[in-house]
């Protein structure tokens, strides 16, 4: 697939503060990419630099092979949706959606036809004569999306478009935006700090921290194979067990020695052994299962479809981990506070990082 957007060595400084440090990234045509990270990590700064709203200090941006690094926003091919909707309160929904087309001096008949198509596309075919104040937050965001798409941009930029909405509307709009993006095939970049949003919507996720890219990959790659301890901790829930590297594939935690993926590091280094709560194995443990250990249930939190258990590792005082137990497992094994049982940490589900 061809690259629609190429970012090379992009940096952005505000006085002595470096908001972006030599960031490089490719986005292919028709792809849905999420910039994910905590507040202040540089994701919105990167989006605004791509749009030309807050130009970079150095580096280049190419869109479909054209260098747009120094062009003003009006000369770049994109539509943008902000968190705050940014609709004109004195204009009707139709006038808001058609605003960019009027600016381009298209004739009234073409504008009317395009606006009607877009309002139907975002599920608001009968709302054209209303004003923004008469719409719910979710409906206003649909209008903002229609307005961004009105000029048929090659690139759609979404700056935390769902964060101001309540949870139920947010989930519904996630699916609607993703379905619309697939239908139109428009290259899309969305900024979010919500990991679930990124995992459910993106073709690829760009995880950012302190103005740098930590990892780029598919949602499954980011979740299953985090490249750094930051990604492992930020995306999803993760257990971290501190230990010492004994051999290439052995880490000692307390009195326990765990088999792990082989590391090209010198023995004696302090390490972090990581595993997702859902990967802790409990049922049907064979006698020769690797990384078996006795635990005691110290706490149980009911989370609907499963319970999150806090497990005290009996042979390593002070060491705990969390595990997700299904309701069936809780019932079948009669798990309750104080229950003692054996669990195993499958070697292929472990990740290892230097402490």
Q: Where are the domains of the chain?
A: 3-233, 237-354
| Architecture of the 3-233 domain | 3-Layer(aba) Sandwich (3.40)
pLDDT at residue number 2: 87
Quickly state the pLDDT bin for 163 (edges 50, 70, 90). confident
Residue 100 dihedral angles phi and psi, to the nearest 5°: -65, -30
Segment 334-341 mean pLDDT: 93
The half-sphere exposure of 20 on its side-chain side, counting CA atoms within 13 A, is 25
* CATH class in words for 237-354: mainly beta
pTM: 0.91
pLDDT at residue number 87: 92
pLDDT in tens, 141-154: 999 999 999 999 99
Q: CA-CA distance, 109 to 52, in Å (whole number)? A: 31
pLDDT at residue number 282: 94
Segment 305-318 mean pLDDT: 89
pLDDT at residue number 305: 82
Tokens 């104080």 sit on residue: 338
Percent of the chain with pLDDT over 70: 100
Nearest to 227 by CA among 201, 242, 209: 209
């Amino acid at each position: 697939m061809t690259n629609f957007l190429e970012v090379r060595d992009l940096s952005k400084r505000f006085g002595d503060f470096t908001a972006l440090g030599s960031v490089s990234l490719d986005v292919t045509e028709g792809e849905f990419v999420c910039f994910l990270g905590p507040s202040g990590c540089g994701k919105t700064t990167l989006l605004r630099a791509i749009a030309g709203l807050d130009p970079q200090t150095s580096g280049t941006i190419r869109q479909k092979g054209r260098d747009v690094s120094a062009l003003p926003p009006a000369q770049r091919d994109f539509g943008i949706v902000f968190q705050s909707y940014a609709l004109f309160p004195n204009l009707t929904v139709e006038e808001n959606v058609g605003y960019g087309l009027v600016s381009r001096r298209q004739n009234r008949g073409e504008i009317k036809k395009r606006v009607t198509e877009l309002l139907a596309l975002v599920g608001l075919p009968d709302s054209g004569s209303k004003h923004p104040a008469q719409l719910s937050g979710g409906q206003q965001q649909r209008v903002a999306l229609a307005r961004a798409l009105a000029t048929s941009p090659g690139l759609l930029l979404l700056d935390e478009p769902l964060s101001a909405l309540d949870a139920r509307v947010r989930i519904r709009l996630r699916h609607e935006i993703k379905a619309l993006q697939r239908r139109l095939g428009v290259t899309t970049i969305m900024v979010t700090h919500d990991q679930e949003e990124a995992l459910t919507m993106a073709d690829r996720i760009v995880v950012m921290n302190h103005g740098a890219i930590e990892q780029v990959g598919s949602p499954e790659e980011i979740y299953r194979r985090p490249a750094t301890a930051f990604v492992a901790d930020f995306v999803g829930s993760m257990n971290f067990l501190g230990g010492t590297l004994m051999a290439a594939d052995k880490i000692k935690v307390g009195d326990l020695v765990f088999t792990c993926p082989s590391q090209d590091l010198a023995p004696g280094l302090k390490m972090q052994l990581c595993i997702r709560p859902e990967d802790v194995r409990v049922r049907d443990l064979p006698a020769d299962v690797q990384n078996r250990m006795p635990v005691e249930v110290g706490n149980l939190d009911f989370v609907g479809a499963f319970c999150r258990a806090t497990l005290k590792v009996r042979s390593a005082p002070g060491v705990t981990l969390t595990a997700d137990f299904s309701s069936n497992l809780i019932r079948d094994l009669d798990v309750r506070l104080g229950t003692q049982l054996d669990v195993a940490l499958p070697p292929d589900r472990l990740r290892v990082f230097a402490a």
